[in-house]
């Protein structure tokens, strides 16, 4: 195993961190906007993710940046071939981030209406983002109709949408939404107190059951037994949520997403992006790798920087480790 393989692993790890960390942010976002919980509970829910979501989203910047740096061909092929879905993801991410950040900065008359609007935008954007990412990961595992230049073929404007119109992509989208909802509910049950905590735990139990069953169905449909493995951590999360073991349940939820991400991205390794037209046109690790010099620069930089990033991000989670109360305190 050489540097290219190690770096492929690091990039997959960066995607895993993004999907797990932002997974619960999106899940909490969906819950806050769509579950019709009272305002003080929505406030508490948003408070659980507000200090750290930005740091979590940076893992997307990291993952994409590293793809560009290590396998420029992979970066270029994936983004240009999935042009419109990617643009839609970016627009939804923009709406989500701004709604989340702006919702608490408006005080005085009309504050409640403002927050409700922000919550709705945040929820719908979160839903769109996880559905699209789920579909994209499924599509990447399936392969794209890319030509010799690494670009998806076709001259109509639907060129980059067509790959998403398959049942695998639909299943990926459903999987994305459900797993995000699962970790979102588990995160809330871990970080809040009172009625919201209990309600979130119950939601996690129900969603966890659906995710477990869904993984088994997906394994049967794809006739790939390895997909059934995803059901294991999902089941763990479901059972642990029922037993009130919140830490264990959250670990199970995170592992579910991690496993699905690794399977999706590394399905064809060492091929990075298979061409469904001609295997010779597939983007491979060896073909897409950057020059030795660049690889050296980025490797040395990462060796020093990455551990520091992980340490200070862990520090920020430690600082905000206390539970957030969702109980309405009546003042005399």
Residue placing its CB nearer to another protein in the complex, 27 or 208: 27
- In the bound complex, what is the minimum distance in angstroms from residue 242's beta carbon to another protein? 23
- In the bound complex, what is the minimum distance in angstroms from residue 303's beta carbon to another protein? 11
- In the bound complex, what is the minimum distance in angstroms from residue 331's beta carbon to another protein? 5
Residue placing its CB nearer to another protein in the complex, 122 or 231: 122
Cis peptide before 270 (omega within 30 of 0): yes
Residue placing its CB nearer to another protein in the complex, 6 or 319: 319
Residue placing its CB nearer to another protein in the complex, 115 or 142: 115
**CA distances for 136 relative to 22, 81, 266, 295, angstroms:** 16, 11, 14, 27
Residue placing its CB nearer to another protein in the complex, 9 or 55: 55
Residue placing its CB nearer to another protein in the complex, 104 or 228: 104
Residue placing its CB nearer to another protein in the complex, 146 or 260: 146
Residues 6+ apart with CB under 8 A from 114: 103, 106
- In the bound complex, what is the minimum distance in angstroms from residue 106's beta carbon to another protein? 6
Residue placing its CB nearer to another protein in the complex, 26 or 205: 26
- In the bound complex, what is the minimum distance in angstroms from residue 318's beta carbon to another protein? 10
- In the bound complex, what is the minimum distance in angstroms from residue 115's beta carbon to another protein? 8
- In the bound complex, what is the minimum distance in angstroms from residue 188's beta carbon to another protein? 13
- In the bound complex, what is the minimum distance in angstroms from residue 225's beta carbon to another protein? 34
């Amino acid at each position: 195993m050489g540097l290219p393989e190690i770096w492929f692993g690091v990039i997959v790890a960066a995607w895993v961190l993004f999907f797990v960390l932002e997974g619960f942010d999106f899940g909490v976002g969906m819950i806050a906007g769509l579950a019709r919980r009272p305002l003080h509970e929505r406030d508490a829910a948003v408070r659980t993710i507000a200090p750290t979501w930005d740091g979590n989203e940076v893992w997307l910047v990291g993952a994409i940046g590293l793809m560009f740096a290590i396998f420029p061909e992979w970066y270029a092929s994936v983004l240009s071939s999935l042009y419109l879905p990617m643009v839609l993801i970016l627009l939804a991410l923009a709406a989500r981030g701004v709604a989340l950040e702006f919702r608490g900065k408006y005080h005085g008359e009309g504050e409640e209406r403002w927050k409700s609007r922000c919550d709705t935008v945040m929820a719908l954007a979160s839903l769109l983002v996880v559905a699209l990412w789920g579909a994209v990961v499924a599509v990447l595992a399936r392969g794209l109709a890319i030509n010799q230049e690494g670009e998806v073929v076709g001259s109509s404007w639907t060129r980059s949408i067509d790959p998403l119109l398959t049942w695998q992509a639909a299943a990926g989208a459903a999987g994305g939404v459900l797993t995000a909802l699962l970790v979102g509910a588990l995160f809330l049950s871990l970080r809040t107190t009172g009625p919201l905590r209990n309600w979130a735990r119950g939601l996690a139990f129900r969603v966890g059951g659906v995710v477990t069953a869904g993984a088994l169905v997906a394994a049967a449909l794809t006739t790939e037994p390895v997909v059934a493995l995803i059901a294991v951590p999902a089941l763990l999360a479901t059972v642990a949520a029922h037993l009130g073991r919140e830490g264990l349940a959250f670990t199970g939820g995170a592992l579910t997403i991690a496993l699905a991400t690794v399977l999706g991205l590394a399905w064809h390794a060492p091929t990075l992006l298979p061409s469904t037209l001609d295997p010779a046109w597939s983007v491979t690790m060896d073909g897409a790798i950057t020059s030795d010099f660049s690889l050296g620069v980025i490797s040395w930089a990462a060796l020093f920087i990455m551990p520091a990033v992980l340490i200070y991000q862990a520090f920020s989670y430690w600082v905000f480790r206390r539970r957030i109360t969702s109980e309405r305190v009546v003042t005399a």
